Chains A and B, each alone.
Chain A
Amino acid sequence: MTSMNFEPIQLTRGQAVRKWIKDHNPPWIALTILFLLLFCGLFANFIVGDPMTNDLKARQIPPFTDIKHIFGTDILGKDMTARLVFGCRSVLMVTAPSIIVALLIGTAVGLLAGYARGWVDSVLMRITDATLGFPSILVAMLIVTFVGTGYTGVIIAVTATTWARFARMIRGEVLSVRERDFVVLAGILGVSPVMIMWRHLMPNVINTLMVMISLMIGQVILLEASLSFLGIGMSPGEPAWGIMVAEGRQQLLTTWWVSLFPGILITLVVMAFNFFGDWLRDYLDPRLRRAR
């Protein structure tokens, strides 16, 4: 009787990479957009000129007509190209801190609620659930009223609307893990809860977290843009895309491009994050995991 042979086939580095790409089909366009976003955000100074100087002699130049101002200039003569690129930086500066803080708060709350259970859990979850569904702009407005507008206000407002989602998810994971035999055993053996959480919880959570973050960045960007548009977000004049759309609106028919381009960029970036998040979710899904 012949037996089946399952010799592992040795692939070279290059072949392995190519195979991975073929098997998992990464979302190229989305990745390119995200890479450009990161690049422009970090190196904006080196790519374009100053986004803040007014040049009254070069006001309201339409796009694609002047080589010095490919995307035109705004009402006061600020170069649109520079502002668009610096807008990437605003995006990074807002999303990174707020997501990190939201993550920290959410994790703390989730861990506490999941581990302590009882009335602590109930109370924390009430608060979390109430915040979860509540319209984010209203929450943001409430906060901005008392904290003030501008960069800090935006960060706090955005954090306040996003932490709840992390809390909920972490709590869910804690609950599902803590009853597992090996965790109970570890507890009996005297392992501290923190250690248990770290060793057993983290691996499960990391995957879901990554997907969640990718999908939430889109919401964060939209929220910040909306707040800036309404005038209660970033300070006016800053190169933030939401603000630019608002500026273009003031003289819409004559400076329509000032509103058009930032909006396109917002849409593209959010789409890219959504696509990437969806792809990441499928990639990390243990049920679909075949040739990882």
Chain B
Amino acid sequence: MWQYVLRRFGEGFITLIALSFVVFGSVHLTGDPADYLMPLTEAHDQKIYEAQKKQMGLDRPFIVQYWDYINSAVLFDFGTSFVIQKPISELILTKLPATVHLAICGFLISIVLGIPLGIMSAVKRDSFLDKLTKGFAVFGLAAPQFWVAIMLILFLGGQLQWFPTYGRGDIEGWWPEWHQIPQTLWHLALPSTVLALSVTAAIMRLARSAMLEILDSDYVKFAQVKGLSNRLVIWRHAAKNALIPVLTFGGITLAGLLNGSVVVEVVFAWPGVGLLLLDGVTQRDFPLTEAAILLSGFFYITTAVLIDIAYGWVDPRVRVR
């Protein structure tokens, strides 16, 4: 098992390096990097341009710049944002809690809803539950998240006033005060539900089709022949095998969450990293964009490796590879 774990971490590390290369390289390969990395106003005068370039170290060879950048990045120093004129790491750190709360909530919802419902709809095939689940899955995979978000805001927030439609409430940072928790949850409700939407749909579908195949398998039949109760057969034998394909697509789940978080944060004015990233892109704040993408990439790769390891734990056949 341990060799497998080490191997996966190693591969993840390499991918991470490659990613940083690509991100950093994009800046320097698409035209004159100086143009991108310097505030526009100062680029007009040639002399100032040259001086600035030197000062920012942009005349050095690519590899040197890359090395410098990586070194500081590891120490969590990404330079300063153009637009906001603050250290990027500070910006990211203040926005991070919001995104993490949102992502965890969305993830929990999708797992808690998706897997059991997927499994049950396979067990009770063609029942009302099954039809409902299938219908929801179809919708969840086709409807654009930003639109669903807006419609929910319109009806639940605007007309009915059941849920707050923007912001996190008055909380800051990672841990709300005790008395702030209800408010936190209330504010989290809509955004995390929307975020979970497409991911839940995908998980449901996967769990269902995996379960259907499993229910047909010989070992399930043998478990029944041995005389095991239905509950044991489903939850101990069948469900564990159903987890395998679901975990396999854990990466896509994750990608879906990250994707969705940008849109959800925008619609709900949720002060998170996604919103920050978008601002960076629209305002051509390259250091910020660079940093945000790098961090997201890091997060994604790390979690993907962890999921792979979980996969190895569930399915022992994989470890031998």
Contact = CB atoms under 8 A, between A and B. Distances in A.
B281 A144 contact: yes
A270 B142 contact: yes
A256 interface: yes
B147 to A, nearest CB: 3
Interface string B34-65: 00100000000000000000000000000000
Contacts of A245: 144, 146-147, 150
A146 B263 contact: no
Contacts of B30: 146-147
A226 B146 contact: yes
A137 B258 CA distance: 8
B255 interface: yes
B278 interface: yes
A133 B308 CA distance: 13
Q: Main secondary structure on chain B at its contact with chain A?
A: helix
A161 to B, nearest CB: 10
B232 interface: no
Contacts, number: 132
A142 B278 contact: no
Contacts of B14: 126
A143 B49 CA distance: 26
Contacts of A268: 142
A150 interface: no
B289 A141 contact: yes
A36 interface: no
B101 interface: no
A186 interface: no
A190 B117 CA distance: 56
Interface stretch (B92-100, B177-185, B296-304): B296-304
Interface in A263-281: 263, 266-268, 270-271, 274-275
Contacts of A146: 26-27, 30-31, 36
B282 A232 contact: yes
* Max chain B C-beta neighbours (<10 A), residue from A145, A147, A222: A145
B263 A126 contact: no
Contacts of A229: 144, 146, 263
A118 interface: no
Interface stretch (B118-126, B151-159, B217-225): B151-159
A126 B304 contact: no
A273 to B, nearest CB: 8
Contacts of A143: 26
Contacts of B256: 135
B289 A267 contact: no
Interface string B225-260: 000000000000000000000000001101110110
A253 interface: yes
Given A230-B263, A260-B151, A145 B281 contact: yes
Give the size range of B's interface with the partner. 35 or more
A262 B143 CA distance: 11
Interface string A127-148: 1001001111110011111110
Contact of A253 (B147, B158, B286): B158
Contacts of A266: 142-144, 147
A249 interface: yes
Contacts of A62: none
A13 to B, nearest CB: 35
A258 to B, nearest CB: 10
Nearest to B148: A263
B188 interface: no
* Max chain B C-beta neighbours (<10 A), residue from A134, A259, A270: A134
A126 B14 CA distance: 9
Nearest to B27: A146
Interface string A194-233: 0000000000000000000000001000100110011110
Contacts of B145: 226
A270 B282 CA distance: 27
19 contacts: A133-B251, A133-B300, A135-B255, A135-B300, A137-B258, A137-B259, A230-B146, A230-B262, A230-B263, A230-B266, A259-B150, A263-B144, A263-B147, A263-B151, A266-B142, A267-B139, A271-B139, A271-B142, A274-B142
Ranked nearest first, the 9 interchain pairs of A and B with the lowest CB-CB distance are A263-B147, A270-B142, A135-B258, A271-B142, A133-B251, A135-B255, A146-B30, A267-B143, A135-B259
Interface of A: 126-127, 130, 133-138, 141-147, 218, 222, 225-226, 229-232, 242, 245-246, 248-249, 252-253, 256, 259-260, 262-263, 266-268, 270-271, 274-275
Given A138-B297, A145-B289, A252-B158, 13 more contacts: A133-B254, A134-B297, A135-B296, A138-B262, A142-B26, A229-B263, A245-B144, A267-B142, A267-B143, A268-B142, A270-B143, A270-B144, A274-B141
